[in-house]
Chains A and B, each alone.
Chain A
Amino acid sequence: MGSGSSVNANYKYSLQKSENAFKAAVLIQRWYRRYVARLEMRRRCTWRIFQSIEYACEQDQIKLHNFFSYLMDHFTPSSSKERDFISRMFVSGESFKEAELEKYCDYESMEVPDSYTGPRLSFPLLPDHATALLEAFKQKQQLHARYVLNLLHETRKHLKQLPNISHVSTCYSEEVTVCGDLHGQLDDLFLIFYKNGLPSPSKSYVFNGDFVDRGKQSLEVLIILFTFLLIYPKEVHLNRGNHEDHMVNLRYGFTKEVMQKYKVHGKKILKMIQNVFCWLPLATLIDQKVLVIHGGISDTTDLDMLEKIQRNKPRPAQAPSMANRLEFSRWVRQTVQEQIEWCRRLVDISESESEELTYSSMVSLTDLDGPCWTRQEEWKQILDILWSDPMPQEGCTANTVRGGGCYFGPDVTGKILEKYNLQFLIRSHECKQEGYEFCHNRKVLTIFSASNYYEIGSNRGAYVKLGPDLVPHFVQYQANKTAHTLTMTQRISRVEESAFRALREKLFAHTSALISAFKAYDKDNTGRIALSNWATAVESVLHLGLPWRMLRPQLVPSTADGMLEYKSWLDDLAMEQRSQEHIQSSLLEVIYRNRSNLETIFRIIDRDHSGLISFEEFHQTWKLFSAHMNIELTDDGINDLVRSIDFNKDGNIDFNEFLEAFRLVKQSQ
């Protein structure tokens, strides 16, 4: 028995110790929770950056399209040669009749050399062919062009006899698996097949569009999907997505991929694919209760109309309503001026001219031998299905961010579900962190199957399985081994780095606009701006809707006095960009801002997808632009221009040389 006081002392000591431990624990927990919260904020900001840049890019595409539209409406060809050129340039020969298409894309005369070790397809296709293809693509082999074309021909034949809306029943195969956007990410498709099994008579699949673009193996994805489609026509269903469209493919990489992989036969393959895309069904109905479409719906969605229209018809000539013609012209002028820096002045349109144009455009609109709907109405139905996005608020508004389709609210969903006695919608079209997401009170399910879409670690992919009870079961995955081994912090840092790089590039691309905006806050011309004003200024230029004050620490060096030297900050940005680019130019910024626009223009002019424009093509295009942009240049001037930009003197202009042309002209003005 120890002395009383030492027992007391021991007791006091251990009491204090446990008090200390408690306090210490609270402190550590408090600190850690704050760390996690910051990480969560960073993750969300990163996501917002990627999304806003992605949608801003889509907007660019629309604006470019509108520019061409304007040119088409107002250019008067001065010779038949020019007229031919224009019609070639802007009408992509979809009027190819079936027989012409088969003749042009003939494959039977193509010989496959003995040295070819890839899969050899024979029709009708068998499951062994599919396995051989999967194996070949895993080994990074390429399917011979002859088989690609053959496959495309057979696919087209098959798709043509399908209705616009496919019907699937869960009583035949117990389960239906629905996959969302794949965007050329073959690894994700492999992963889905690995986890879920290959398509078979007891395993139905619906692939909900956007098979191509962005990812580097769009063609392989397409080949595999078409192969399974032909082997198991009752079990495999494909819906068209907004990326199954040749104009979109020009910008987002699919066209480029095909031409790079098939240098000789790429054109033919693209022509066939273009046609096959038009024949893809628009929607799938599961058990008459679940509607699967790529984008969404609108308040005017009419399934009866959708079932009856001819889905492969070319789009009607675009013309706004008569009442808004002038407004439209004015707006187009304004848009072009904003977006395409080198178009300085635009031709003025007289009122009479516009009235005339309107009349002729309106006439072309009505399809005299069609059913009771106008072409415009039919196309709106398709656009809504392929481009719309759900929104939390009620109502139905035009989807101005995408430029097509609508934003539809929960009331619209409710209305359409009730009208057609449906339980819920499945759609894709939007990347989701977890690969899937419900909205509209679980009546709309978004399913997205391209994991790591923005960057490694950015998001998971998912697919959904439905049984006869139509209760969705989800499987998520992430197709990159590295993503698994990284800690949460590392994953977020990595994606964040990528997002900020993209953001800095965008900032750089707007250097002069930013300088003007900063100067507005710097009346005394000190070259400095308060950090608190930096955020407002940047948003006024970029219009990305990002939380700039949250992002500021990562974009701008912290300063003792809260003031930023903006010129040197922008110089630092420029240095970072210039080191990645060969083109030496003080107008690098202009080129950057318009880079993807210019690339698209290039690809449109480059009709045979050779990666080169001939002098002749360039000449014609230049005349077209300069006539309406009031850039004076004689024929000799154009020839000199052309010769001066052909850097490697091979008689052709490649993309980099093309970019240079615009810099040169702007300088000499």
Chain B
Amino acid sequence: MATGAGSLMVVVPPRRVHPEVMAAGPTASSRRGVASRAAVTAEPAAGANGAVAEIEKKIIEAFEVFDHECNKTVDVREIGSIVRSLGCFPTEAELHELLAKVEEEEPTGYIHLEKFLPVMTKVLLDRSYRPIPEDVLLHAFEALDENKCGYISKEKLVKYLTEEGEPFTQEEMEDMLSTALDPETNTVHYRDYISMMTVDET
């Protein structure tokens, strides 16, 4: 069809995209992240009931969001984000424990879906790493607020969170302060902060 000089549109029959089948190993999928991702079609364990199948589909979806090369692997450093975005609140120590279960014998820096899926399914079924209810979080902040005045000074908060517990990196601390800190008083009013963050969650 003549559409004039310089028109570079081309006629190419579309390729029927086949959904990836789980456990088939790295596939030669066509487009990174887009055309090759049909509906999650991974077959759940034989005999599993509907709830488990649904959980597995959720895990696979979350995993694939971080699977940049479309080969059923993710960088080990992203596992924390995946686990947490599935609704879990592990500590760093708990995360390391989980990693030990899903890593290869010789750590390659990558985690495979086939190892991750059963471990994560169990985590979700057992409801490990439960969420932190709002009131418990509030008590935690109050524990750091000696005078019980409803706010913590920036210096104090920084000291606690970067020196105690499982310390924040400087970046994490700055990020939190960017939302939590009231710049006029240099304090964090933790009740307000918590309610703002919890609204955001839903």
Contact = CB atoms under 8 A, between A and B. Distances in A.
A331 B11 CA distance: 12
A314 B137 contact: no
B1 A30 contact: no
B140 A547 contact: no
A89 to B, nearest CB: 10
B121 interface: no
B89 A94 contact: no
A547 B2 contact: no
Nearest to B35: A401
Contacts of B4: 91-94, 246-247, 274, 314-315
Contacts of A24: 139-141, 143-144, 160, 165
Contact of A38 (B35, B65, B84): B84
Contacts, number: 266
Nearest to A243: B8
Interface stretch (A390-398, A568-576, A588-596): A390-398
A312 B5 contact: yes
A499 to B, nearest CB: 14
A346 to B, nearest CB: 17
Please give me the 5 A-B residue pairs with the lowest Cβ-Cβ distance, nearest first: A25-B165, A545-B37, A314-B5, A37-B84, A94-B5
Interface stretch (B68-76, B97-105, B108-116): B68-76
Interface of A: 20-38, 40-41, 44-45, 48, 51-52, 55, 59, 61-62, 65-66, 68-69, 72-73, 90-95, 242, 245-248, 274-275, 277-278, 312-315, 317-318, 320, 327-328, 331, 335, 382-383, 386-387, 389, 391-393, 395, 397-398, 400-401, 403-404, 407, 487-489, 493, 532, 535-536, 539-540, 543-550, 553
Given A29-B161, A549-B57, A38 B1 contact: no
A532 B54 contact: yes
A22 B164 contact: yes
Given A61-B9, A488-B175, 13 more contacts: A23-B143, A26-B164, A29-B91, A33-B92, A33-B172, A41-B65, A48-B33, A51-B34, A65-B11, A68-B1, A94-B4, A314-B4, A545-B37
A208 to B, nearest CB: 16
B34 A25 contact: no
Nearest to A315: B7
A547 B67 CA distance: 12
B139 to A, nearest CB: 8
A29 B141 contact: no
B58 interface: yes
Per DSSP, are chain B's interface residues mostly helix, strand or loop, or mixed?
Answer: loop
Contacts of B7: 92, 245-247, 315
A404 to B, nearest CB: 4
B125 to A, nearest CB: 15
Contacts of A73: 1
Contact of B175 (A25, A36, A242, A335): A36
A553 B69 CA distance: 27
10 contacts: A21-B144, A28-B165, A29-B166, A30-B90, A95-B5, A327-B13, A382-B8, A392-B69, A400-B14, A545-B38
Contacts of B3: 65, 68, 90-92, 247, 315
Given A31-B132, A547-B62, A26 B9 contact: no
A90 B39 contact: no
B153 interface: no
A48 B39 CA distance: 15
Interface in B2-42: 2-15, 17, 26, 28-40
B171 to A, nearest CB: 10
Given A24-B143, A24-B144, A41-B62, A312 B70 contact: no
A318 B13 CA distance: 12
A93 B17 CA distance: 38
Nearest to B3: A247
A395 B26 CA distance: 14
A400 B140 contact: no
Contacts of B88: 34
Given A26-B165, A545-B33, A550-B62, A62 B38 contact: no
A646 to B, nearest CB: 29
